[in-house]
Amino acid sequence: MDCTWGDKPANLAAVLRRTEDAADRGARLVVFPECVLTGYGFESREQLRSVAEPLPGPSTDAVAEVCRRRGVWCVFGLIEVAHDGKLYNAAALVGPAGFVAGYRKLHLPCLGADRFTDPGDRPFTVHDLGGLKLGLNICFDGSFPESARILTLLGADLVVLPTNWATNARKMAELVSAARAWENHIYYLAVNRIGDEAGFHYIGLSSAADYLGNVLHVAPEDAEQLFLIEVDPIAARQKRVVHCHGLYEIDRVNWRRPEWYGPLVENPGRFTGHFTGADRVG
């Protein structure tokens, strides 16, 4: 869907209306794009602070009322202000019993609102939605295979990726859902926005893939669309794929060799140096 920059009341009304629409079509979990509540093209931390709110907060309260009445869960993007004044690009998870959790984007590109937000500071977590185990990432997190892999190891059946992919991110839109789903034997759902904002054109092309990497749906470019997928948690948990018993079997999760993965965590700096803070505007 599209959203209106800085107009939280209008964007919240759209989220509530579309949650109702999705529930009418039988959805149990409704997922919206990154920063759908606020827009993304901010030019200063002060601008960002003017639209930020706590989690839980007034918007999650409003969404929770719909979730309670319709028996659904909802994920939507916003800017979170923490009690210490830090600002995060966040995704809120709300369900029939109210606010469940907030996820703070860990990997920040030099782009839009992320130039002025603080890096996420919480570990990856999986949430049980009455039998479906859900993991949350946001946009640029999807560029890092470790993000989905850790959620898989924590038990996720489905990873959702609210995102704001503009024209130059087309390759992510084409590849990420199928690749992350196939690597981890999980379902993966990437939900992008459309429209023009702050000089960027957002392309849509939301997509979903199943645990075998089969693409279940690709939304149209430059058009709003509500689409549904079905998730089989039991199938996602059966990690070993048997093509021919004893001759051709694959398990991309449990046959890892983590004792050889030390370089992934031994050097926290960049490949060509160390992070200085000058790489992002703040």
249 is known as an active-site residue:
no
Fill in the DSSP letter of residue 92. Answer: E
76 has pLDDT over 70: yes
Confidence of residue 225 (pLDDT cuts 50, 70, 90): very high
217 has pLDDT over 50: yes
pLDDT of residue 265: 86
Q: Which of 3, 67, 139, 197 is catalytic?
A: 139
For residue 96 the two structure tokens come to: 């029939």
Which one, of 163, 141, 156, lies nearest residue 187 by Cα?
Answer: 156
Which tens digits make up the pLDDT trace of 84-117?
999 999 999 999 999 999 999 999 999 999 999 9
Q: Which of 3, 105, 133, 197 is catalytic?
A: 105
276 has pLDDT over 50: no
278 has pLDDT over 50: no
How far apart (Å, rounded) are the C-alpha atoms in residues 117 and 102?
A: 15
46 is known as an active-site residue:
no
For residue 170 the two structure tokens come to: 């087309």
Helices (H), the chain: 8-24, 45-51, 58-70, 145-153, 170-184, 233-237, 263-266
Q: Which of 34, 53, 80, 197 is catalytic?
A: 34
34 is known as an active-site residue:
yes
pLDDT of residue 100: 98
Beta bridge partners of 241: 250
